[in-house]
């Protein structure tokens, strides 16, 4: 008995016949062969079929048909039969994306010049951007050497600073048209059991955020972190949030058993009490994508990811299914769904090596829809492939060959599937034959041709009636601190982790009352669950008093007053508060004083006092302290009112402040010399002589073009590590490839109002002149005009 699992993986259609003949020879010698296979040629060459289904995952596991090819083809319950009989098929798109292979066409191409890695014969590869391109050829002909070993490492090194060494080649042209390169393989999402489809796609972060917005979570003080099974707090501590325990068997494989404490739910009972529409966070992880889509149908951000997972054929997958248990095809489709779910400007190059491995005809059809969708979004998809159903659906084919090893390494032909097939048709003997064209011809003749419907991203992003932003979840319920703030913070308050607070609420009530007597302040703000704030009458002048009420044993009070108002060595003994180690009645420890005095930037001093009981602070020293602190605060605010710029030198000095070596963030070790800013300023001034520089920000300088309403560029002059130039440019107009040689490092991010922010970092004068910064800035000026 021979058991073979997909023996055609990695084989060119030319080699399938050879394999099938070898299998038949083994059978004819009296052996039995049990083959798991999706390839049509092998299936049709079998003597007996077992068809499993009817669906995937929990919807499968049944033999829906068995018998000869004819019997299975006629069986109504078979999922493979319709494809064998011809009732179902993967259509050939009659409206392929046009590719004009001409230098004068203005088309965008990515070119690898003189690639000679392994068996490649100084190949010049030209990939049309914005298309689905298939790289074909016999096994060992050089496809992976060209794409995986040369193109991908070279692009990843230039665009993403990856530590990869590309195969030998002269250069790559067209880099300026690409924003990033992503290789989507069939490797597992991760080796850890804690990785799953929900975490990989980023959906679980959104779900945890949603649960933290629910009223029950807000009252208990649960943040999104509470609903993570990877950190202590909300997870079951007995199994560390895995839902199961590992029993080491030493010389035998480890055995995993369900956790007896949480019964496989991963979380402790307190966390599970918070529910969204009757479902706890554990219930959500146990749902399939299809079930979760119904639950979160009114939450657009989560719905989009779930809809995409369903679209790629993973509606049967549970959100919390452990990553190592996913098949290679499932892992790959999760990765593709994650890419489709991201807000994308296009201009990404996706590389896939034999993505159809292990896929049934139905799954292949869904994969093709996903790949076409990626291209419709403005990206380029390049697949190394042997499957004729995918090859026939491509916009462009590049055939490598003609044979394997030293007999390969050449580009045999390229063009649309029809053009390639026609070029090598007939009995004419060519010096360099194309085995792909020969195998493709009957497939194209068989058809059927159908018009492909382009993907419209606005459909999946369309707003539906009843849609709710995650930030708005739970907003309809009034929180107790919003109903009666004083009562909540002094009587009903709850600790950060949902535990009761045991400090005396009378302290806070009396302190608030005394502060309101001794100064002119704005109304006491109780709008936060954990903080009470009393600010200056003009709130822009800052706060005077903060009470942090969510500590279990101590009320933390912070007072801001004029610098020099109190001296630590005098105030600490005068207050007479014991250290925590001296308070035997409290289960918390510490030897530092419970009164702290520190100087802040500008004219401020901050005093922090942590109190537990009413008796320890109800004395003349404490009440006199509050009065003195209030007077010190008033002294600063009155001074600021008379001279608003007294404590903001950047508003007074303007340009001089930004050229000075003061006010840096990130430490005093400034890593770039002043000449860097001087040279960059000179370049900008020469480019926009009639532009207007705005100097009144503490760390940023804005440059407006003449008549501009928003800054054209912004310079962060007070970052210790680098001088940062931020160019405000129209969305999608600048790729990472275009700025790959500018500055010390660079990045493109989304801004506001359909704008991108191009950030370029400089640490030396050479960083300014090493690339073509001036021509790049001129291009951006033309875009603005």
Q: What is the DSSP string of 588-657?
A: ----S-SEEEEE-STTEEEEEEEE--STTT-SHHHHHHHHHHHHHHHHHHHHHHH-TTTT-HHHHHTHHH
| Backbone angles phi and psi of 100, in degrees to 5 | -105, 110
35, 493, 496, 617, 718 from 499: Cα distances, Å: 59, 9, 7, 24, 43
How far is the C-alpha of 771 from the C-alpha of 746, rounded, in Å?
12
Distances (CA, A) of 6 to 3, 79, 106: 10, 18, 44
445 and 484 both lie in a single domain: no
Domain boundary pick from 642, 676, 698: 642
* Residue 765 falls inside a structural domain: yes
Strand stretches in 373-512, DSSP E: 380-384, 396-401, 410-415, 449-450
Annotate 353-388 with b (16+ C-beta within 10 A) or e (fewer).
Answer: bbbbbbbbbbbbbbbbebbbbbbbbbbbbbbbbbbb
Q: Helices 568-575 & 620-642, crossing angle to 10 degrees? A: 140
Q: What is the DSSP secondary structure assignment for residue 422, as one 8-state letter?
A: H
Overall average pLDDT of the 616-620 stretch: 95
Per-residue pLDDT of 503-531, as tens digits, reads: 999 999 999 999 988 878 999 999 899 99
Same-domain pairing of 490 and 578: yes
Average pLDDT of the chain is: 90
Q: Note whether residue 464 is domain-resident.
A: no
What pLDDT, on a 0 to 100 scale, did the predictor assign at position 628?
95
Same-domain check for residues 667 and 770: yes
Measured at the CA of 768, the angle between CA 763 and CA 769, to 5 degrees, comes to 135
pLDDT for res 461: 76
Residue 627 shares a structural domain with residue 487:
yes
Query: Measured between alpha carbons, how far is 118 from 756 in angstroms, rounded to an integer?
Result: 41
The answer to whether residues 688 and 781 touch, using CB atoms and an 8 Å cutoff, is yes
Q: List Cα–Cα distances, 590 to 191, 575, 579, 582, 594, in angstroms.
A: 41, 17, 7, 9, 9
How many angstroms separate the CA atoms of 712 and 779, rounded? Answer: 12
pLDDT-wise least confident of 154-163, 468-477, 566-575: 468-477
Q: Domain range for residue 585?
A: 480-642
- Among 15-24, 61-70, 471-480, the least confident range: 471-480
CA atoms within 13 A on the CB side of 89: 18
Render pLDDT for 219-257 as a digit per residue (tens, 0 to 9): 888 999 999 999 898 999 999 998 988 888 888 888 889
- Give, in order, the Cα–Cα distances in Å from 19 to each of 41, 42, 439, 442, 564: 10, 9, 16, 20, 88
Please, which residues bridge with residue 716 across strands? 700, 724
139 burial type by CB count under 10 A (0-12 exposed, 13-18 middle, 19+ buried): middle
Same structural domain for residues 118 and 86? no
Least confident segment among 329-343, 420-434, 651-665: 420-434
User: CA angle, 455 as apex, 452 and 460 as ends, to 5°?
Assistant: 145
> CB burial class (10 A; 0-12, 13-18, 19+) of residue 279?
middle
pLDDT, tens digit (0-9, with 9 covering 90-100), for 755-767 = 889 999 999 999 9
Residue 437: name the closest of 450, 447, 426, 446 by CA: 426
Q: How far apart are the C-alpha atoms of 374 and 395, rounded to whole Å?
A: 13
Q: Please list, in sequence order, all residues whose beta carbon lies within 8 angstroms of the beta carbon of residue 226, skipping any fewer than 6 positions away.
A: 212, 217, 233, 234, 271, 497
Specify which residues 665 forms β-bridges with.
719
Q: How far apart are CA 740 and CA 760, in angstroms?
A: 10
Number of domains in the chain: 5
**H/E element holding 63?**
strand 62-67
Could you tell me if 523 and 535 are in contact, meaning their C-beta atoms sit under 8 angstroms apart?
no
Q: What is the pTM of this model?
A: 0.80
Q: Is residue 475 part of a domain?
A: no
Quick one: how far is CA 419 from the chain centroid?
Answer: 40
Residues 68 and 122 in one domain: no
In a shared domain, residues 132 and 79? no
Is the confidence at residue 104, as pLDDT, over 60? no
Phi-psi region of 411 (alpha: psi -120 to 50; beta: other; left: phi over 0): beta
Q: Per the domain annotation, does 103 fall within a domain?
A: no
- We report the CATH number of the domain holding residue 280 as 1.20.1580.10
User: Angle CA(239)–CA(245)–CA(251) in degrees, nearest 5?
Assistant: 145
The Cα 481–Cα 317 span in angstroms is 41
Q: Residue 54, preceding bond cis, omega within 30 degrees?
A: yes
174 strand-pairing partners: none
Task: Mark whether 153 and 202 lie in a shared domain.
Answer: no
- Whether residue 464 contacts residue 298, with contact meaning beta carbons closer than 8 Å, is answered with yes
Q: Of 272, 290, 325, which closes a domain?
A: 325
CA distances from 661 to 658, 671, 674, 676, 724 (A): 8, 11, 8, 13, 15
Please check whether residue 605 lies inside any domain of the structure: yes
Tokens of 435: 């085995």
Question: Is residue 468 in some structural domain?
Answer: no
CA atoms within 13 A on the CB side of 293: 16
DSSP code at position 474: T
Q: Which residues of 211-250 are buried (b: 16+ CB within 10 A; e: fewer)?
A: bbbbbebbbbbbbbebbbbeeebbbbeebbbbbbeeeeee
Q: How many CA atoms lie within 13 A of 716 on its CB side?
A: 18
Q: Is 339 helix (H, G, I), strand (E, B) or coil?
A: helix
Same domain flag for 611 and 510:
yes
Residues 494 and 615 in one domain: yes
Q: Indicate the pLDDT class of residue 313, thresholds 50, 70 and 90.
A: confident
Least confident range from 20-24, 190-194, 685-689: namely: 190-194
Distance (Å, whole) CA 84 – CA 661: 76
Strand partners, 558: 546, 608
Which pLDDT score, from 0 to 100, does residue 431 have? 65
Q: Which of 9-18, 375-384, 411-420, 712-721 has the lowest mean pLDDT?
A: 9-18
Report the pLDDT value the prediction gives residue 193, as an integer from 0 to 100: 76
Convert the pLDDT of each residue in 43-98 to its tens digit.
999 999 999 988 887 788 999 999 999 999 988 889 999 998 888 899 999 999 99
Same domain, 9 and 85: yes
Residues 419 and 394: their CA atoms lie apart, in Å, by 12
Q: Are residues 205 and 313 in the same domain?
A: yes
Show the tokens assigned to 474.
Answer: 């739970």
In a domain, 277, yes or no: yes
Instruction: Check residue 735 and give its pLDDT.
Output: 87
Q: Is residue 105 over pLDDT 60?
A: no
Predicted pLDDT at 681: 94
Query: Residue range 651-675: average pLDDT?
Result: 86
pLDDT of residue 274: 94
CA torsion, ordered 774, 777, 782, 785, to nearest 10 deg: -130
Question: In whole angstroms, how large is the CA radius of gyration of the chain?
Answer: 34
Residue 139's CATH number: 3.40.50.300
For residues 164-190, average pLDDT: 91
Contact, 357 vs 13, CB < 8 A? no
For residue 460, being part of any structural domain is answered with: no
């Amino acid at each position: 008995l021979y058991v073979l699992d997909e023996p055609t993986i990695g084989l060119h259609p030319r080699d399938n016949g050879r394999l099938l003949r070898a299998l038949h020879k083994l059978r004819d010698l009296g052996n039995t062969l049990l083959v798991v296979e999706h390839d049509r040629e092998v299936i049709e060459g079998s003597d007996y079929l077992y068809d499993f289904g009817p669906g995937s995952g929990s919807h499968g596991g049944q033999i829906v048909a068995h018998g000869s090819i004819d019997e299975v083809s006629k069986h109504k319950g078979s999922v493979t039969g319709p494809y064998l009989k011809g009732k179902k098929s993967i259509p050939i798109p009659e409206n392929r994306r046009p590719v004009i292979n001409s230098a004068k066409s203005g088309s965008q191409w990515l070119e690898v010049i003189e690639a000679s890695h392994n068996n490649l014969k100084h190949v010049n590869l030209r990939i049309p951007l914005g298309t689905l391109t298939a790289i074909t050829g016999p096994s060992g002909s050089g496809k992976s050497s060209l794409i995986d070993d040369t193109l991908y490492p070279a692009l990843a090194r230039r665009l993403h600073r990856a530590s990869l060494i590309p195969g030998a080649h002269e250069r790559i042209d067209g880099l300026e048209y690409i924003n990033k390169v992503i290789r989507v393989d069939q490797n597992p999402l991760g080796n850890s059991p804690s990785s799953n489809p929900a975490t990989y796609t980023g959906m679980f972060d959104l779900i945890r955020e949603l649960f933290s917005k629910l009223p029950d979570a807000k009252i208990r003080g649960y943040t999104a972190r509470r609903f993570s099974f990877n950190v202590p707090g909300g997870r079951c501590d007995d199994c560390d949030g895995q839902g199961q325990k590992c029993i080491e068997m030493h010389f035998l494989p480890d055995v995993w058993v369900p956790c007896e404490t949480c019964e496989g739910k991963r979380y402790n009972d307190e966390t599970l009490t918070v529910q969204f529409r009757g479902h706890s966070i554990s219930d959500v992880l146990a749902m399939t994508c299809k079930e979760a889509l119904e639950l979160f149908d009114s939450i657009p951000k989560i719905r989009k990811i779930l809809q995409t997972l369903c679209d790629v054929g993973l509606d049967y997958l549970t959100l919390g299914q452990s990553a190592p248990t996913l098949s290679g095809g499932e892992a790959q489709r999760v990765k593709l769904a994650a890419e489709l779910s991201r807000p994308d400007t296009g201009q990404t190059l996706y590389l896939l090596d034999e993505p159809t491995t292990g896929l049934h005809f139905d799954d292949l059809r869904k994969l093709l829809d996903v790949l076409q969708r990626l291209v419709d979004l403005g990206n380029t998809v390049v697949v190394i492939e042997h499957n004729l159903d995918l090859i026939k659906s491509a916009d462009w084919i590049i055939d490598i060959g003609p044979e394997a090893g030293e007999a390969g390494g050449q580009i045999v032909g390229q063009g649309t599937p029809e053009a390639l097939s026609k070029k090598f048709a007939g009995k004419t003997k060519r010096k360099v034959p194309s085995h792909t064209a020969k195998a493709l011809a009957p497939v194209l003749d068989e058809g059927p041709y159908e018009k492909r419907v382009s993907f419209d991203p606005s459909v999946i992003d369309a707003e539906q009636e009843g849609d709710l932003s995650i930030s708005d979840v739970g907003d309809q319920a009034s929180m107790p601190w919003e109903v009666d703030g004083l009562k909540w913070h002094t009587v009903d308050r709850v600790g950060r982790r949902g535990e009761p607070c045991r400090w005396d609420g009378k302290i806070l009530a009396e302190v608030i009352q005394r502060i309101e007597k001794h100064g002119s302040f704005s109304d006491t703000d109780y709008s936060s669950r954990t903080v009470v704030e009393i600010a200056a009458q003009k709130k822009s002048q800052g706060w005077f008093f903060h009470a942090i009420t969510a500590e279990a044993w101590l009320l933390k009070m912070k007072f801001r007053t004029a610098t020099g108002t109190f001296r630590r060595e005098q105030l600490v003994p005068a207050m007479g508060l014991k250290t925590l180690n001296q308070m035997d009645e409290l289960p918390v420890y510490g030897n530092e004083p419970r009164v702290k005095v520190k100087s802040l930037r500008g004219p401020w001093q901050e005093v922090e006092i942590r109190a537990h009981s009413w008796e320890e602070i109800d004395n003349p020293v404490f009440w006199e302290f509050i009065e003195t602190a209030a007077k010190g605060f008033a002294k600063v605010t009155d001074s600021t009112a008379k001279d608003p710029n007294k404590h903001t030198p950047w508003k007074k000095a303007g340009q001089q402040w930004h050229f000075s070596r003061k006010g840096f963030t990130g430490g005093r070790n400034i890593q770039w010399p002043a000449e860097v800013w001087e040279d960059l300023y000179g370049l900008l001034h020469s480019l926009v002589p009639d532009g207007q520089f705005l100097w009144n920000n503490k760390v940023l300088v804005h440059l407006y073009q003449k008549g501009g309403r928003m800054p054209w560029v912004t310079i962060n002059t007070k970052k210790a590590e680098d001088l940062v130039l931020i160019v405000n440019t129209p969305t999608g107009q600048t790729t990472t490839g275009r700025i790959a040689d500018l500055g010390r490092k660079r990045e493109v991010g989304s801004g506001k109002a359909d704008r991108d922010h191009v950030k370029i970092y400089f640490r030396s004068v050479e960083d300014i002149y090493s690339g073509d910064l001036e021509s790049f800035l001129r291009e951006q000026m033309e875009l603005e005009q």
